[in-house]
Amino acid sequence: MTGIGTPTRQDFPTIRRCIGYARALGLDGLRVINLFALRSTDPQGLRIHADPIGPRNDEILTHCMQTLPVDFMVAAWGADDFAIDRAKAVHAMAASHGITLQCRGRTKNGHPGHPLYLRRDAALSEWTP
């Protein structure tokens, strides 16, 4: 598990897949921000932590939304229902900055698909909770 405020420079499989999607869209860059400050390969790690969102995550998300030249953001957190309340809050935050959330495929419950489990040619479409 990586803790709050711990940046990483290693391209893990998920990030490598995101880079591939960005290149396929003709983008020259990619910035990944997370619903939760706490990151865990096991969703249970988020459920049992006292504050998975973290004390500054909303501030950081807002800063990114205000300062990055974006019209859309790609939501890609996968199938875990634990994230739905947080997803609604981040969706509202993005909308308040005129940013739409897109996704590349959905889970059977309508969550944005996780990059590792999507087809390489999955098209972007708007995502709302």
As a whole number of angstroms, the distance between CA 66 and CA 17 comes to: 26
18-40 pLDDT tens trace: 888 888 888 888 888 888 888 77
Whole-model pTM above 0.85?
no
Which pair of structure tokens corresponds to residue 23? Answer: 């290149």
DSSP labels for the chain? -BPTT-------HHHHHHHHHHHHTT-S------SSSSB-SSHHHHHHSS-SS-SSHHHHHHHHHHHS--SEEE----S-GGGHHHHHHHHHHHHHTT-EEEES-B-TTSPBPPGGGS-TTPPPEE---
80-92 pLDDT tens trace: 778 888 999 999 9
Q: What pLDDT is stored for residue 9 in this prediction?
A: 57
Q: What pLDDT is stored for residue 1 in this prediction?
A: 37
Q: What pLDDT is stored for residue 4 in this prediction?
A: 43
- What mean pLDDT comes out for the span 84-105? 91
